[in-house]
Amino acid sequence: MAAISREEFVDLLQDEIGLAVGGDDLGRALDEVPGWDSLHLLTMLVLLEKRVRRPLSLPDFLEAASLESVYELVNR
């Protein structure tokens, strides 16, 4: 079972980080996500840590090409 479902991930991006993304946007490159920047990366990882209840490591995510990649890393 996934640590966080795809729907929960999209909700977190929309509601808690304020990104205007839907489920269809997960495959977009991070730098194509409207408004995306490194502070969003920080907020996202801190919130995901709380949600999945395990420590995450930044270097794993620096190479993530898309939100989909982030989602897969969190559920690995």
Report the interface residues with another protein, using CB under 8 A.
18, 37-43, 45-47, 49-50, 55-59, 62
The CA radius of gyration of the chain, in Å to the nearest whole number, is 11
Smallest distance, another protein to C-beta of residue 49, A: 6
The residue written with tokens 């489920």 in the block is 23
- Beta carbon nearer to another protein, 1 or 62: 62
Smallest distance, another protein to C-beta of residue 40, A: 6
Q: How far apart are CA 18 and CA 59, in angstroms?
A: 24
- Beta carbon nearer to another protein, 56 or 64: 56
Q: Angle of helix 38-52 relative to helix 67-74, nearest 10 degrees?
A: 30
Q: Which two tokens stand for residue 41?
A: 């990366």
Smallest distance, another protein to C-beta of residue 50, A: 7
